[in-house]
Structure 1
Amino acid sequence: MLPTILSTGVITLVLSGVLRLLWAGISNDFFSAWMEAWFTTWPIAFPIAYLSKPIIRKLSLSLTQSRTAKNSSLSLGQITAASDDATKSNQLKVQRSTYIHKYY
């Protein structure tokens, strides 16, 4: 819970300050209006972030798993062939030496 409290606090503090500055500019009541906006938005942002965290975690996990499953089917031979094809299609020549591969 503490990371969510801190992250939403920092995000809402910065955003409310930047938006207050853009909308109204610097005036005599800038700081008090900024703090009022921050104390209004933080209690809204924290529960939304805290309650949506499990859903976002599941969504992130499902997106990364499906992406990993697609990419894990490549073999070293397929990667090498794709690299050779890309080198040829871009009309590059490879100068192979013991230590360094130079592309020109």
Structure 2
Amino acid sequence: MKPFLPKKAEHIAFGLILAGMMTFFVSGISTAIALGVSNPGLVSKWMGSWLTTWAFAFPIVLFVAPLVRRILHRIVLPE
């Protein structure tokens, strides 16, 4: 795949992909625990849960990431 995003959009794309992947797995695990793996409605409930949590997680990741970077710069030793 040929790159197509400008460098200034990298942090937004990072947040979008990170939030999407994390919420996909976490919502899947939570939904499976709540409904049971053999539940016939598991996948549809999971996808609904995933989209909802992704919609919340994406802006939260964009907001929290700079704070996490500042914290890490204070606690990680320089090389």
TM-score range, shorter chain: 0.7 to 0.9
Q: Quote the Cα distance in structure 2 between the aligned partners of 1:23 and 1:29.
A: 12
SS at 2:39 equivalent: coil
TM-score (normalizing by structure 2): 0.77
State the identity %.
Answer: 27
Q: CA RMSD in A?
A: 1.3
1:20 deviates by 0.7
Q: State the match for 2:66 in structure 1.
A: 54
Q: Quote the Cα distance in structure 2 between the aligned partners of 1:52 and 1:17.
A: 23
Residue ranges of structure 1 left out of the alignment (5+ in a row): 70-104
Runs of 4+ in 1 over 6 A off after TM superposition: none
Q: Flag the structure with more relative contact order, 1 or 2, with Cα contacts below 8 A and sequence separation at least 6.
A: 2
Instruction: Give yes or no for the alignment of 1:8 onto 2:19.
Output: yes
Matched pairs, number: 66
Instruction: Give yes or no for the alignment of 1:29 onto 2:41.
Output: yes
Matches within 5 A, 1:45-84: 45-64=57-76, 68=77
Q: Quote the Cα distance in structure 1 between the aligned partners of 2:68 and 2:29.
A: 27
Q: Which has the higher strand share?
A: 1
